[in-house]
Structure 1
Amino acid sequence: MNTRSPLARLARGAVTATALALLTAATAAAHPAPAADAVDPGSALFVDAAAVPAEQLRAFDQPIPLADYLRTHGSTTLARPTAGDPSPPDDDLKQQCASHAAQAKTTVGWTKSRFESCQKRPYDLVLRDTRGTTTIGRLWFDQWILGFSYDGSRRVDYIASIENIRVQPIPTEDATKWRLGQHFRSSISASTSDPDPQVTEPQTKERDELLGEWDRNPQWTLTYTSPDKGPLFDQGNLQRVNSTVTMDLTASSPNAAPFTGGVDNYHSNVRYDYAGKSAGKHKGTVFTSARVELVMSRKDPAVNESALHIYDALHRPERTFPSWPGKTIPGTKEPLHRDSKKVDDNRKRSIQECKKVWRDYSGTGLQCDEYPFASTKEGSTKGDNRFSVRLIDGTDNRKGGERLNEMYTLNRVLDGDPFYLKITD
């Protein structure tokens, strides 16, 4: 493993380079690869196949699995683990990630939840001379990055890999000498973190190796942690650290100039905290790009009145009180934000509105239900009248509150965090 190569240092410095794009290559009739003279060192470079004219790729449409290519070119690389080895614990996430291909191939990947994320990014690179007139070879592979954060630990793990490698070089080009590299780095947003934010990076953050080594050993793991000072939340210090993990991809050949088209090709935003029991487990880490939703059903007998009230507020606000022309209420396109400091004031204001509409309802078994919730910044005291109150069954109202609190704790939703509502039939 070469973690200090000149190529890696050059890749990190090339911050103005553009990210790779995915090629959707059409399948064409097979053509033999053209013969060509050996290429002088530094006279070639890897480029995204999407930037190469289609007619120049017609002779390079027969990908050869790397394992087959290595056998025919005298490689002595060790075989990969085979049957009998236990399945990796990330298999389920990989299958789900593959089913969300459009999101998974983006820079931020697909975020399943606040605790699981993934990127599956297919690559199609062409090695050609610097004049852009001669194609020397083609390289296909899939990049995977699986992210795991934890409720109960200030830690995040990334399982990175390069898999499904295929090649097609001209006869005078040796693909056994091609290399791929993954180079991770992290940064901290001090302006959105609590005082003295720190992240401990893994000892090894870069892997730059020959294709054969990636084929033999596709995966490697990186662990980032944030130290804590014990429970300080009673003093107002939640020890929040907002951090971004970024990865650069590099490709190289002895005959090629360094390739830097994969700079910033992966981003992962995480937050470490020690927020105490209001967040569920006292400390934890989340992927902040996850869309957090409270889902309730109008057919659920336990909360059907709460769900109907929220549905009307979101989709039929003309049926809600207070009533005014053009009224809209956030929660679908506009998120709500938790604000536990406003609970009492919001409830007091909402009960006043209920009594204005329904007068004295004591002794009826009904309670004043409010949406947006009393525990949100968008509650009734915000001042824009974009809220709704309704009398509903007291048991239903309490159960709806329990569902909201469960959503907060299961997703480590802290004050200021956004979330959305989804009401189903």
Structure 2
Amino acid sequence: MYEYLQIGSYSFLPPCNKFPPLTEDGPKEKIRMDSADYMFVLNPHFYHEGSIFANVQLVFYYDMNNSYFNVMLEAFQHHKDDLTSPGSLISGLQGKPPLTRMYSKYDLVQYNANRKAKDAACSKLSKPEGYECDEFPFASTYEGAGIGDGRFSVRYIPRAANNTHGRWLAAWYAYDRILHKINFILDLMSNCRCVGWMRLRVGTEPHQWYFLLNRMHDISTSIEILQTYQDPS
């Protein structure tokens, strides 16, 4: 279920307590509030409900210069090569068509087609010991290998890189509310993801507070419900 609101008075709590909280009225901006029972990081950490700014570009960041992500470097490099090689037609970067999330249980036919096409391509490659076959675009997108346009890539990468990246992608889907059929892009160059909390007052009663997690640079940041419609679940 999606519910759209307009927000007004808000307070922003910058990360790491580096700056004082800000409270002010901002320009009108839509907030998308949703619920989806397939949003989770790791059991029992489920994120069934959440809110994000509705008009921002949803971005999956690859910080290739941060040693924290070293275990995933081979996955990062594979996807970067796919997206930036001369003449590449693969979707997912700024200026190209976006990727579209696909929750497997909502479209099992296409998900299985992605897996089948990926496995067929992987079978033509030599598999080193301890490696797994990684595909891009992701199997959890409508731009995956099964679409049939040949715009995908497979590469054997270390098992730890493949598994860790898969878990990280699933966690990001939950954290940033990437629902079924929601578009997003990758940012391969960013080495800073500035995150903070926004607390939004949407009424006069104490229980009428919503908490949002969003990037500082996403805030363009007033109250009426604009639209409600059902997400299949």
TM range (shorter): 0.5 to 0.7
2:92 counterpart letter in structure 1: G
For residues 12 and 162 of structure 2, the distance between their equivalents in structure 1, rounded to whole angstroms, comes to 39
Change in CA separation of 1:92 and 1:368 when aligned onto 2, cut-off 3 Å: closer
For 2:153 and 2:13, locate their aligned partners in 1 and report how far apart those are by CA, in whole Å: 45
| Divergent runs of 4+, >6 A | none
How far residue 355 of structure 1 moved from its aligned partner, in angstroms, is 1.2
Deviations 1:291-333 (A, max 9, x none): 22222233532101000001101111x6xxxxxxx44111112
Within the alignment, does 1:381 sit opposite 2:150 as a pair?
Answer: no
Unaligned runs of 5+ in 1: 1-87, 94-117, 119-142, 146-265, 319-325
Aligned pairs (5 A) from 1:217-366: 266-278=27-39, 280-299=46-65, 300-316=69-85, 326-333=87-94, 334-341=97-104, 342-356=110-124, 358-359=125-126, 361=127, 364-366=129-131
1:395 alignment partner, SS class: helix
Query: Within 5 A, what are the aligned runs for 1:3-402?
Result: 89-90=11-12, 92=14, 144-145=25-26, 266-278=27-39, 280-299=46-65, 300-316=69-85, 326-333=87-94, 334-341=97-104, 342-356=110-124, 358-359=125-126, 361=127, 364-402=129-167
Task: Give, in whole Å, the separation in 2 of the partners of 1:298 and 1:272.
Answer: 32
Q: Residue 172 of structure 2 aligns to a residue in which SS?
A: helix
Matched residues in 1 for 2:54 and 2:13: separation? 23
**How many residues are aligned here?**
161
Using the size of structure 1 for normalisation, the TM-score is 0.35
Could you list the runs of 5+ residues in structure 2 that have no partner in the other structure?
1-9, 16-21, 41-45, 105-109, 192-233
2:207 aligns with none
Cα displacement (A) at 1:270? 2.9
Output the TM-score relative to the length of structure 2.
0.60
> Shift of residue 273 of structure 1?
2.1
Distance 1:307 1:406 in 2: 16
What CA distance in whole angstroms lies between the structure 1 residues aligned with 2:84 and 2:38? 34
Task: Among all aligned residue pairs of Structure 1 and Structure 2, give the percentage whose two residues are the same amino acid.
Answer: 30
Larger-gyration structure (1/2)? 1
Displacement of 1:343 in angstroms is 3.5
Asked if 2 retains the 8 angstrom alpha-carbon contact of 1:296 and 1:303, the reply is no
Residues of 1 paired with 2:90 and 2:58: CA distance?
A: 18
1:413 maps to: 178
What letter is aligned with 1:351? D
Structure ranking higher on relative contact order (CA contacts 8 Å, 6+ apart) = 2
